[in-house]
Amino acid sequence: MGQLNGRTALVTGASRGIGRAIALRLAAEGALLAVHYGSNEAAAKETIELIEEAGGRAFAIRAELGVPGDGATLWTRFDAGLRDIGAEAGLDILVNNAAIARSKDIDGVTTEEFDALFAVNVKAPFFIVQQGLGRIRDGGRIINISSGVTRIAYPETIAYSMTKGALNAFSLTLAKALGARNITVNSVSPGIVDTDVNADWLRDNPDVWAHVAAYSTFNRVGQPDDIADIVAFIASADARWISGQNIDATGGSQL
Ligand code: NDP
């Protein structure tokens, strides 16, 4: 096994997309994986099957985020999941990955959409961390999945971009607060990645695909594994001296 042997990791939104790729990669390094999802149980089961087929260990946690009591539900089910498989209580790596996106400009965003974006993308990670701090062991890792839209302006996603800016401030500030416990806190900011959230406008449209690929200095569209490999590094012991940073994972987009 790998460099995360004996560690326990929780990845929110690990049923699909980038979260699934992160879960698979951390499990391949030896971590026991808590695979969180919102509603797509079949996809979460598939993530677990893929982990087990590769020789890893994982269990699922269902918890809708962005609703009252979301953090408490998540942690109650996390604790129960560990107990069910006879694993030691506690956590080493928390990846706040689950989020929703809305493509709306300043004129298009409703107050309901604004509140929903902040509830899932900002409030949920904040209280998941607050309520989970007693479980996270010293020397642990908190990794918040942010976005390249905090560096590159996209008026079409203004409210979503604001949620990711808030997450970056959270990473920076929390890193200072948790330094004494040797817990590192960082953001990882992907550019456009080929996942379900972009399927309708990106996947089946070769012209748009080529346009998006050209954002990157490598002239290709990002894949979930591109992000998972960076997260695995930040989660590793080798990244012990990096904290409070926003790591650009856009494939050198719009340099
Ligand atoms: P997907 O839409 O493919 O997957 C989202 C995941 O989050 C799913 O596992 C989903 O669970 C879960 N989720 C979403 N909303 C909720 C909720 N309210 N409660 C509980 N779980 C929820 O997302 P991506 O893989 O594309 O994105 C992952 C992260 O990367 C996000 O933080 C996103 O903002 C960020 N990002 C993505 C980019 C991209 O181009 N794809 C670019 C930059 C950043 P379920 O399967 O049950 O629905």
Instruction: Find out whether the beta carbon of 222 lies less than 6 Å from any atom of ligand 1.
Output: no
The pLDDT, as a whole number, for residue 1 is: 57
Low-confidence ranges of the chain (pLDDT < 50): none
Domains in the chain: ranges and CATH: 8-249 (3.40.50.720)
| Spatial CA neighbour of 195 closest among 4, 17, 76 | 17
Instruction: Find out whether the beta carbon of 60 lies less than 6 Å from any atom of ligand 1.
Output: no
CB-based contacts of 243, cutoff 8 Å, min separation 6? 175, 179, 184, 185, 186
Nearest CA to ligand 1 atom 46: 40
The pLDDT, as a whole number, for residue 217 is: 98
* ipTM of the complex model: 0.99
Compute the radius of gyration of the chain from its Cα atoms: 17
Instruction: Find out whether the beta carbon of 17 lies less than 6 Å from any atom of ligand 1.
Output: yes
- Among the atoms of ligand 1, which is closest to the Cα of residue 96? 32
CB-based contacts of 53, cutoff 8 Å, min separation 6? none
- Among the atoms of ligand 1, which is closest to the Cα of residue 66? 18
Instruction: Find out whether the beta carbon of 145 lies less than 6 Å from any atom of ligand 1.
Output: yes
Place of tokens 């949920």: 124
DSSP at 121: I
Q: How far is the CA of 98 from the centre of ligand 1 (A)?
A: 4
Q: How far is the CA of 99 from the centre of ligand 1 (A)?
A: 5
Q: Decide: 136 and 91 in contact? Cβ < 8 Å.
A: yes
The pLDDT, as a whole number, for residue 141 is: 99
Is 160 an active-site residue?
Answer: yes
Instruction: Find out whether the beta carbon of 100 lies less than 6 Å from any atom of ligand 1.
Output: yes
Task: List b or e across 97-132, with b for residues whose CB sees 16 or more CB atoms inside 10 angstroms.
Answer: bbbbbbebeeeebeeeebeebbbbbbbbbbbbbeeb
**Residues above pLDDT 70, as percent of the chain:** 100
Whole-prediction pTM value?
0.99
Chain centroid to CA 139: 19
Q: How far is the CA of 180 from the centre of ligand 1 (A)?
A: 31
Task: List b or e across 80-95, with b for residues whose CB sees 16 or more CB atoms inside 10 angstroms.
Answer: ebbeeeeeeeebbbbb
Nearest CA to ligand 1 atom 3: 17
The amino acid at residue 214 is: A
The pLDDT, as a whole number, for residue 130 is: 98
